[in-house]
Structure 1
């Protein structure tokens, strides 16, 4: 059996070399912000990079925006707490939805020339659904930004011993600086850099951690002995009525996570879709999530595995003051030498900045283009909206500082994030998917279906689950059920309201509902006709690869 790590206070011991690596990274980040500033002349430049970025840039930014500190700390925490069941968040809970976004939904988003996800609802259903969705998304953005801030505060506290308050404020200042300077372009180019920095941090940590436990076979033996055989399988113990650490069965995993929660997040979350909308053409926009799908498939190897190692070698993890969220920082502090430790800490800070920047940049876009411009200050000069966007960026960061303390009350950050997704993203997905494929659906149905789905998810979670009426072994299992409830209630209310209200004329739905118009009106270049650049080829290749990855861990 491998030696166990000491359950010592979470404190990283870094030297001058580590600090130099950190300082160099922050200088590069701010330098990118200053360089991107020259390209920001209009509000479209600030919010959507002038729709001028190539697919490989937007694709890497797409996956990096999701690969924030919450993803790294949260999925490592899931690995330590739930074992290999965590791979479902990737191979079932991400890849199919990303493929669906690229192949089916991006032609609607990009072809309609909307600047945000809520703006699509304005064109499809009208002002009531538009304003409600904009408010919901603005709230969820600042809540998720707070999660990223708190995740970084964990690292800063471990790194410097700073208080929670000081860590959060200093970290927020850096993100605020480079978004104010260069808008979305600055965020996206930094996300491309951050993607490679994150990998440079996680790959050495994974290799050293596996060596500590005697490789994969040693890790498998230790965790199987401690937690049972199913802990190291993807589907073992998930039959209906069987208890498992995740508190979910195959049906709630496939429907709750793999369908409603996953599709709700990846197809309607503007923090992701915004990266695709900044692409230079519709073809590039469609390829953006498909390109991102391939690294997403492989990320479990460097995120979940360290969490599994922590479960094997850190006594008392998840108990008392030692939370599952601490798995990655604990391994970094006790396994990595100086220099490599500096790269690892830089990678975590990069991950935080990617996740926080994605949510702040999407918040300033939605608030400015979907709340301020249409309802508060319409028909103003473009320079006015550019100034408002920068001011709202500051406001979003300040609110994120406040919501970071809400996130600090959760021992598993990913459980908190999934709760937010079940409240906000799943009801949006119901409204979008029905509105895109059902011409008869009415504006009133769009509003009441969205509102009913959101309320139903909250009632299920706070009243039935937290109140003790619904007995589910884990928060994650409760989130899957909340997602199914939100989808079912939202769909039912949408159908019922549609039956008793007036639909819009078919002529007004041209280009907004499937089958009403050809979305891809742009000329297809010779490069786009190459077989390996076709969305269908990329999408099905990603789906097959994700399915193959399940084979070694099936049962």
Structure 2
């Protein structure tokens, strides 16, 4: 099915709507000057529904829309643990992290590190996050989004990739550069509605193609019947082998997923990730922020229907007569030049082949919304960290409000230019969602340990935190590189253990916590650190709306895992 004139009209209309909203929100009255709080925290004016929508829009990008569909194709519903456990993680963040962050009036997460530990550690982490956002997050979202557009609009030969990278980056910059977080958050409300509606349309139409009789529920029942292993949430060793011959257990090691390393990935991402947590810091109040968190948690429960089920559908539609997916049964677009299966082609293939004219423009707009909203969030947070944690304290301590806003805008532009130059280099990554999780997982366990100890253990010292975060890297590399690196096949191999990366993350985090405890104990002889947080009784009290929402979400999660165990 080609891309019809009506599809272009819908797609252009989407772009015009988002740009209009972004520029309208960005306007300032005559004689007014935009302050740093206006630019970086939307003037602390966001209501709960805008916060919840913006959280999901920032989170759901090409990494999920394309990458998680690819993991659904390769592994199945088990990858949805990232989404469903995120709902529970959001509740924990809302109850136990947000009260501290908001009551301290933070602009950035590194600011918390400075208040709790030291300026040196804050600067180390600020530089790390800027590098991570530009060279990992921005580049991967740009590349994945561009390759998807190349497959859907073009011929899939890569001829549109660079044009798509430039177009997506310019579109994100067109409103986020000038308007800051306010423009990002308010356009996110439209973007998240569009990506959910478009995603559901794609899932519905794809399921309608699965059986000759058609129908959403018939299709759902059919794929559940023919590939029941793809609906197993707790994967056993050897239960699911991906099309490229990899044991899915290595990515999602059974019960260890929900009681182990996934908590490290989720707590780090949702609790201490600037481009996620920044919109909660922009709330009208703590109560409004917590309600926004609960709203986002509800939305997370339906995301697998949009980003995982399409991957399973693509798998079923590519099965041969014997019920297996092989190189012979696969559509040629799934096979790359090296002869391996490109799992991440699942969603673009579905859109190209099964979405009719008119609706294809809507689904493509949903994909673009996912990509652009995440890009806008990432560059805004990159500029916030650089301006507030690098520029203001080190380069221009007396910077005026207008100077900080100007530097923030320049940083947005520079970050996007670098990402545009690097993004084309990210070819042949396989399951990109898993790739990003695995390599971010080298540094996230140590950083999570530093934050958790800083929040909840008054004895944690600055030197202990520095030792912990620095030693966490060789610990993570010991688990990751040793068993399959230079030691493989040698007598040294016995010194290493081979673990799935989620378990590697858990053990790295626990060992880092141990290091922080030991160094703190030696340094302070068991006394509380002078910067330790004093959390009074009632500090973590939450309102009835949040509490009722939390109970409802936990009941739904229990039911989901009971059904698909």
TM-score by length of 1: 0.88
| 1:41 counterpart = 2:41 | no
2:458 counterpart residue number: 439
CA gap 1:358/1:477 in 2 versus in 1, 3 angstroms: farther
2:184 counterpart residue number: 187
Residues matched between the structures, number: 522
CA RMSD of aligned residues (A): 2.7
In 1, Cα distance between equivalents of 2:286 and 2:525 = 29
1:15 counterpart residue number: 4
2:162–2:424 Cα contact (<8 Å) kept:
no
1:489 counterpart residue number: 511
In 2, Cα distance between equivalents of 1:74 and 1:505 = 47
1:232 counterpart residue number: 231
In 2, Cα distance between equivalents of 1:507 and 1:455 = 27
1:111–1:519 Cα contact (<8 Å) kept:
no
1:9 counterpart residue number: none
- Aligned with 2:220 (options 207, 216, 222): 216
| 1:176 counterpart = 2:185 | no
| 1:513 counterpart = 2:533 | yes
- Aligned with 2:20 (options 14, 18, 31): 31
1:260 counterpart residue number: 264
In 2, Cα distance between equivalents of 1:467 and 1:21 = 53
Give CA-to-partner distance per residue, 1:376-427, whole Å, 9 cap, x none: 2212212111111000001111122234235334111101220243123332
1:280 counterpart residue number: 284
| 1:320 counterpart = 2:319 | no
Q: Which runs of 5+ in 2 are unaligned?
A: 212-218, 319-328
2:35–2:402 Cα contact (<8 Å) kept:
yes
| 1:111 counterpart = 2:103 | yes
In 1, Cα distance between equivalents of 2:258 and 2:556 = 18
2:66–2:148 Cα contact (<8 Å) kept:
no
| 1:128 counterpart = 2:120 | yes
1:418–1:479 Cα contact (<8 Å) kept:
no
The alpha carbon displacement at 1:37 in A equals 1.6
1:34–1:182 Cα contact (<8 Å) kept:
yes
1:552 counterpart residue number: 563
In 2, Cα distance between equivalents of 1:139 and 1:486 = 22
3-state DSSP class of the match of 2:75?
Answer: helix
Give CA-to-partner distance per residue, 1:227-248, whole Å, 9 cap, x none: xxx33311252699x9952324
1:256–1:481 Cα contact (<8 Å) kept:
yes
In 1, Cα distance between equivalents of 2:18 and 2:393 = 34
- Aligned with 2:203 (options 206, 218, 232): 206
1:6 counterpart residue number: none
| Larger deviation, residues 12-21 vs 311-320 | 311-320
In 2, Cα distance between equivalents of 1:256 and 1:239 = 20
CA gap 1:190/1:548 in 2 versus in 1, 3 angstroms: same
2:238–2:249 Cα contact (<8 Å) kept:
no
TM-score by length of 2: 0.86
| Larger deviation, residues 118-127 vs 482-491 | 482-491
| Larger deviation, residues 342-351 vs 450-459 | 450-459
1:460-479 matches, within 5 Å, as 460-465=479-484, 469=488, 478-479=500-501
| 1:292 counterpart = 2:291 | no
In 1, Cα distance between equivalents of 2:191 and 2:393 = 35
CA gap 1:504/1:400 in 2 versus in 1, 3 angstroms: farther
| 1:416 counterpart = 2:435 | yes
Give CA-to-partner distance per residue, 1:20-43, whole Å, 9 cap, x none: 111111111211221122257111
